[in-house]
């Protein structure tokens, strides 16, 4: 039976291809592996035949349902949900059509008591009419082929020419190590956090092993939460005696085994080319962009990623300080810095869009005022996301204890007695800390380091501001510039900068 994919998608595929910062071959491989991982595979069996121009990937995941197999061929619908895996767009085979003569897919659903599906298809471009001038359309045919002996999915791509990277085993291995290095290294973490069972990757029967290095210094963290102590994040930093390969330099930030970006978390230090590492946070999967090459910076997902990045910067910074790799002399906050900090706190306190990035809580006591004007007791509330502490001192436990105490007290009141006011956690500061630093090697006027704005007194702009006696204006603008670098879009930066300076002008 012949099926049409439903839309003329030539321009659509070109747009999808262009959103990746690497070749279409690499994009195809990344997406195919992502789909297999979402299917909970424990084996990626890659077969490459350069002479026949065939690239084939077989997994032993749960396979597709009949509905899923139908949607697999549909360009206008995705059956994946964002936040539940890294293959949410299902683009591997679709992108593969761009560089192939045809794609043969076979899937076998993992048998259950009520469901069992097996399907196979041949998918390719085909002109609707032999003499038509319009572009060819993607169509697929049902096949009788049944070669899978286990549940899972096999995708066989018949490429157009022999020059493709997908037909070069060494290149395929490099791509996998670059894009999915955590998947090859963090088996125990993924098993403990119930993300994956151990995943083995074969290329023409050869088991891929992660690159072997011998670091000089390492530091490793496994972050846990809740009574179950279930791990939710992993971090490992390494300092090597010699320069590591360029593609390994920096800290790889990953989710669900896929490296999303690799950088130095906005830190500058000695021997940068000798430092590598991994930070794996499965929860950040809901923050991914469609091409899985960056994190979203807007909305709730953007705020979540921003909070994570601040914590990651702080931990990385502490490690660098332990190894004495940070090459700068910081000046302690003086009266000018403290005064500037108070001014910025007042300005940010009037801009809600900045408060979500730079709002802080303190333990200042206070009473809760009711609508009738009377003050009554306040039960402490759980405030935001806090660093993990001992179980008995967690925010959740404090809330629970406070509620229990309040109930007991109310139940024991005599007629006419009033509830004694409780301490309440309140917000009293809305801006970052301010410090000066003397770093002539950096071109930055200012930058954020965790929750602190560092103003570079070695920058020529600062020196000129001193000579012109406009240091206050310079420092205020420098602090605003550092904070606004964290804001997602350019339009938001300009708008918030204007509101920031207006707030200062009205003081």
- CATH of range 2-179; options 3.30.930.10, 3.30.565.10, 3.40.50.720, 3.60.9.10: 3.30.565.10
How much is the mean pLDDT over the chain? 81
Length of the chain equals 507
- CATH of range 330-358+430-505; options 3.40.50, 3.40.1350, 3.30.450, 3.30.2010: 3.30.2010
Residue 239: the pLDDT is: 96
Is pLDDT of 498 > 80? Answer: yes
Q: What is the mean pLDDT of residues 70-85?
A: 68
What is the rounded CA–CA span in Å between residue 279 and residue 161?
A: 38
Is pLDDT of 56 > 90? Answer: yes
Same fold, 2-179 and 330-358+430-505: no
Q: Which tens digit of pLDDT belongs to each residue from 111-143?
A: 876 778 999 999 998 876 665 545 678 889 999
Q: Which tens digit of pLDDT belongs to each residue from 264-304?
A: 988 888 899 999 999 999 999 989 888 889 998 777 888 88
Q: With the C-alpha atoms ordered 499, 502, 506, 507, is the resulting torsion angle positive or negative? A: positive
Q: What is the mean pLDDT of residues 91-114?
A: 89
Residue 51: the pLDDT is: 95
Higher per-residue confidence, 441 vs 405: 441
What is the rounded CA–CA span in Å between residue 435 and residue 417?
A: 50
Residues 138-160 as b/e (b if ≥16 CB within 10 A, e otherwise) read bbbeeeeeeebeebbbbbbbbbe
The helix (H) or strand (E) run that includes residue 155 is strand 152-159
The domains of the chain are located at: 2-179, 187-196+207-322, 330-358+430-505, 363-427
Q: Residue for token digits 């920058």?
A: 459
Residue 272: the pLDDT is: 94
Q: How confident is the model at residue 3 (pLDDT cuts 50, 70, 90)?
A: low
What is the rounded CA–CA span in Å between residue 366 and residue 378?
A: 8
Residue 167: the pLDDT is: 97
Q: Poorest-confidence range of 4-18, 200-214, 295-309, 340-354?
A: 4-18
Is pLDDT of 52 > 80? Answer: yes
Tokens coding 279:
């930070």
Residue 402: the pLDDT is: 57
What is the rounded CA–CA span in Å between residue 491 and residue 489?
A: 6
DSSP secondary structure, 8-77, as one string: --HHHHHHHHHTSSS-HHHHHHHHHHHHHHHTT-SEEEEEEETTTTEEEEEE-S----HHHHHHHT-TT-
Is pLDDT of 25 > 90? Answer: yes
Q: Which tens digit of pLDDT belongs to each residue from 319-365?
A: 998 999 986 555 555 788 888 888 988 888 888 777 766 765 444 43
Q: Which tens digit of pLDDT belongs to each residue from 215-244?
A: 999 999 898 887 778 888 999 999 999 999
Tokens coding 346:
């007042």
Q: Which tens digit of pLDDT belongs to each residue from 419-466?
A: 444 444 444 557 788 888 888 888 889 988 777 888 999 999 999 999
Tokens coding 501:
């300076």
Higher per-residue confidence, 397 vs 225: 225
Is pLDDT of 378 > 50? Answer: no
DSSP secondary structure, 240-309, as one string: -SSPPPGGG-EEEEEETTEEEEEE-TT---TTGGGEEEEEE-GGGGGGB-TTSSSB--SHHHHHHHHHHH
Under 8 Å between Cβ of 95 and 13: yes
């Amino acid at each position: 039976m012949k099926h049409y994919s439903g839309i003329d998608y030539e321009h659509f595929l070109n747009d999808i291809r262009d959103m990746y910062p690497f070749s279409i071959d690499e994009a195809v491989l990344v997406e195919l592996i992502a789909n297999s991982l979402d299917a909970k595979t424990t084996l990626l069996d890659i077969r490459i035949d350069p002479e026949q121009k065939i690239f084939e990937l077989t997994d032993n995941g749960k396979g597709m349902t009949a509905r899923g197999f139908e949607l697999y061929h549909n360009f206008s619908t995705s059956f994946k949900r964002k936040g539940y895996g890294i293959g949410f767009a299902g683009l591997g085979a679709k992108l593969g059509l761009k560089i192939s003569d045809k794609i043969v897919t076979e899937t076998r659903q993992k048998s259950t008591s009520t469901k069992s599906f097996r399907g196979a298809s041949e998918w390719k471009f085909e002109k609707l009419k032999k003499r038509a001038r319009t572009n060819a359309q993607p169509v697929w045919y049902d096949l009788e082929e049944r070669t899978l002996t286990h549940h899972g999915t096999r995708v066989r791509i018949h490429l157009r020419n022999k020059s493709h990277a997908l037909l070069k085993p060494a290149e395929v291995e490099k791509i996998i190590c670059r894009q999915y290095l955590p998947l090859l290294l963090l088996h125990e973490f993924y098993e403990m956090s119930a993300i994956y069972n151990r995943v083995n990757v074969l290329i023409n029967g050869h088991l891929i092993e992660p690159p072997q290095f011998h670091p000089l210094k390492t530091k490793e963290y496994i972050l846990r939460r809740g009574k179950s102590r279930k791990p939710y994040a992993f971090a490992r930093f390494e300092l090597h005696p010699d320069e590591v390969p360029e593609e390994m330099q920096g800290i790889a930030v990953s989710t669900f085994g896929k490296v999303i970006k690799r950088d130095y978390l906005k830190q500058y230090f000695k021997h940068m080319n000798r430092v590598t590492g991994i930070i794996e946070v499965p929860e950040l999967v809901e923050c991914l962009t469609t091409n899985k090459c960056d994190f979203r910076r807007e909305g709730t997902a953007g705020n979540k990623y921003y909070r994570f990045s601040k914590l990651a910067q702080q931990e990385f910074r502490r490690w660098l300080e332990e190894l004495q790799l940070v090459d700068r002399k910081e000046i302690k906050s003086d009266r000018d810095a403290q005064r500037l900090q108070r001014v910025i706190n007042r300005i940010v306190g009037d801009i809600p869009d900045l408060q979500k990035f730079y709002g802080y809580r303190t333990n200042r006591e206070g009473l809760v005022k009711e609508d009738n004007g009377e003050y009554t007791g306040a039960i402490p509330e759980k405030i935001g996301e806090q660093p993990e502490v001992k179980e008995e001192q967690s925010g959740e436990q404090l809330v629970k204890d406070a509620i229990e105490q309040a109930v007991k007290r109310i139940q024991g009141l005599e007629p006419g007695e009033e509830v004694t006011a409780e301490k309440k956690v309140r917000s009293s500061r809305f801006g970052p800390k301010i410090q000066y630093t003397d770093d002539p090697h950096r071109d930055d006027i200012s930058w954020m380091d965790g929750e602190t704005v560092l103003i570079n007194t070695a920058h020529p702009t600062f020196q000129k501001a001193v000579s012109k006696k406009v240091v206050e204006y310079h420092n205020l603008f420098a602090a605003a510039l550092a904070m606004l670098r964290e804001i997602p879009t350019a339009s938001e930066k300009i708008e918030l900068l204007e509101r920031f300076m207006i707030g200062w002008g009205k003081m």
